[in-house]
């Protein structure tokens, strides 16, 4: 157990052993699971079967459902109610084994969860970690920078099922997410450029007015040549992970540990409306809304405070995370929910 987890449980009135009266007190347990959902593990058997208690725990951290009673984990109506309150279709992964194998029930859960980026557990680091350990997930979007490779390693947890939906072409020139000086932005579906012969200049529409770029070069696309579109491949890869049964997630920062901010320049990619207007960038809007304080002040996660404002690049003088913000808009347009977390 990590020290921060122990402190949360201690704060939630839990002791490693004893205190039966506390573990059987509904008022105490409700307060405890409201602060730290997985504290449900220490509740009495009776309260682990109490719908009000379990729903409160699951709203705080969906992975707390694993500590619910067997009766609740076989109750379709209760589980669908939990999905409706959290938009977490993957709660079915904690259901009774028979329900886990029921494709129709999984379809119902996904339909109940809806679409778009979901921020239910945005500031709950232990939830993302618990998901990766419990079932197959994919980190579809993770901010880059110097910390990128290390974040990728952390997502591929040796004890879990974490994976990524990242596609990269190295030194091969590819189309990016914007064209025509930003007037055209790649949609949430294939754009029509991927490995398609580039038309003559006079026949090109906005999506073709872009360079093709690699890690080492930037070129004007030549008529008759074919180039890959990075975005099309990434979108297909995200959908492939979803079709394979993985829960699709995205991270808004590349701050895995607090000291990464200092040593690796890790930071947030949240963009407030004020900063978007100041820098002439699109405002971030999402189907399901966004957390309060977006792009401003600090967010407290796992006992630590992190700046929410995207740092400004010293050369471009633009907030970092341009590609990540496009990815978020594309994910928000998907036909399934995507779960956002501040920390990967």
Higher local confidence (pLDDT), 151 or 253:
253
Total count of domains within the chain: 2
Three-state secondary-structure class, residue 114: coil
The pLDDT, as a whole number, for residue 24 is 86
Look at the block and give the residue holding tokens 């992964």: 93
Domain-embedded: residue 8: no
User: Is a pLDDT exceeding 60 seen at residue 292?
Assistant: yes
Q: What are phi and psi of 218, to 5 degrees?
A: -135, 120
Domain-embedded: residue 237: yes
Q: Classify residue 238 as exposed, middle or buried by CB count within 10 Å of its CB (0-12, 13-18, 19+).
A: buried
DSSP 210: S
User: Is a pLDDT exceeding 60 seen at residue 11?
Assistant: no
| Strand order, beta sheet including 247-251 | 116-118, 337-341, 247-251, 137-141, 162-164
pTM of the model: 0.90
pLDDT digits (tens, 9 = 90+) for 193-242: 999 999 999 999 999 999 999 988 999 999 999 999 999 999 999 999 99
CA distances in angstroms from 128 to 48, 138, 161, 189, 332, listed in the order given: 22, 11, 12, 27, 19
For 143, the domain range is 115-279+305-343
The pLDDT, as a whole number, for residue 159 is 66
CA distances in angstroms from 297 to 186, 272, 274, 292, 294, listed in the order given: 31, 10, 13, 10, 8
CA dist 232 and 161 (Å) reads 25
Structure tokens at 249: 């997630």
CA dihedral 156, 85, 37, 99 (to 10 degrees): -70
Count of H-run helices and E-run strands, the chain: 15, 13
Q: What are phi and psi of 301, to 5 degrees?
A: -140, 125
Question: Looking at the structure, do residues 247 and 330 belong to the same domain, yes or no?
Answer: yes
Question: Looking at the structure, do residues 336 and 194 belong to the same domain, yes or no?
Answer: yes
Domain-embedded: residue 284: no
Question: Looking at the structure, do residues 103 and 208 belong to the same domain, yes or no?
Answer: no
Query: pLDDT-based confidence at 87, cuts 50/70/90?
Result: very high
Q: Choose the final residue of a domain: 113, 129, 159.
A: 113
Domain-embedded: residue 286: no
Least-confidence region, from 22-26, 81-85, 190-194, 198-202: 22-26
Question: Looking at the structure, do residues 143 and 260 belong to the same domain, yes or no?
Answer: yes
Structure tokens at 245: 């049964």
Question: Looking at the structure, do residues 85 and 185 belong to the same domain, yes or no?
Answer: no
Q: What are phi and psi of 35, to 5 degrees?
A: -90, -35
CA dist 344 and 129 (Å) reads 8
DSSP 335: S
User: Is a pLDDT exceeding 50 seen at residue 308?
Assistant: yes
Contact of 138 with 238, CB cutoff 8 Å: yes
């Amino acid at each position: 157990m990590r020290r921060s987890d122990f402190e949360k449980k201690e704060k939630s009135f839990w002791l490693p052993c004893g205190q039966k009266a506390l573990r059987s007190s509904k008022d105490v347990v409700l307060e405890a699971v409201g602060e730290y959902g997985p504290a449900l593990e220490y509740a009495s058997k009776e309260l682990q079967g109490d719908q009000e208690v379990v729903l409160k725990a699951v709203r705080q951290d969906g992975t707390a459902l694993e500590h619910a009673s067997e009766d609740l984990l076989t109750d379709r109506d209760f589980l669908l109610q939990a999905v409706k309150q959290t938009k977490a279709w993957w709660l079915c992964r904690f259901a009774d084994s028979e329900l886990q194998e029921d494709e129709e029930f999984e379809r119902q859960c996904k339909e109940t969860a809806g679409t778009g980026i979901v921020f239910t557990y945005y500031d709950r680091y232990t939830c993302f970690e618990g998901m990766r350990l419990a079932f197959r997930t994919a980190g579809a979007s993770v901010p880059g920078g110097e910390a990128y490779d290390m974040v990728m390693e952390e997502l591929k947890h040796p004890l879990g099922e974490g994976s990524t939906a990242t596609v990269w072409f190295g030194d091969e020139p590819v189309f990016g997410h914007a064209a025509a000086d930003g007037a055209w932005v790649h949609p949430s579906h294939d754009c029509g450029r991927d490995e398609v012969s580039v038309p003559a200049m006079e026949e090109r529409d906005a999506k073709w007015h872009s360079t093709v770029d690699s890690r080492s070069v930037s070129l004007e696309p030549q008529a008759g040549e074919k180039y890959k579109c990075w975005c099309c491949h990434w979108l297909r890869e995200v959908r492939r992970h979803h079709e394979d049964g993985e829960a699709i997630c995205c991270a808004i920062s590349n701050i895995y540990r607090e000291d990464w901010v200092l040593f690796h320049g890790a930071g947030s990619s949240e963009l407030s409306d004020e900063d978007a207007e100041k820098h002439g960038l699109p405002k971030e809007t999402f189907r399901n809304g966004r957390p309060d304080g977006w792009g401003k002040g600090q967010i407290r996660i796992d006992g630590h405070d992190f700046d929410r404002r995207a740092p400004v690049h010293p050369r471009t003088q633009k907030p970092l995370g341009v590609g990540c913000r496009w990815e978020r808009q594309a994910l928000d347009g998907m036909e399934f929910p995507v779960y956002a977390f501040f920390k990967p």
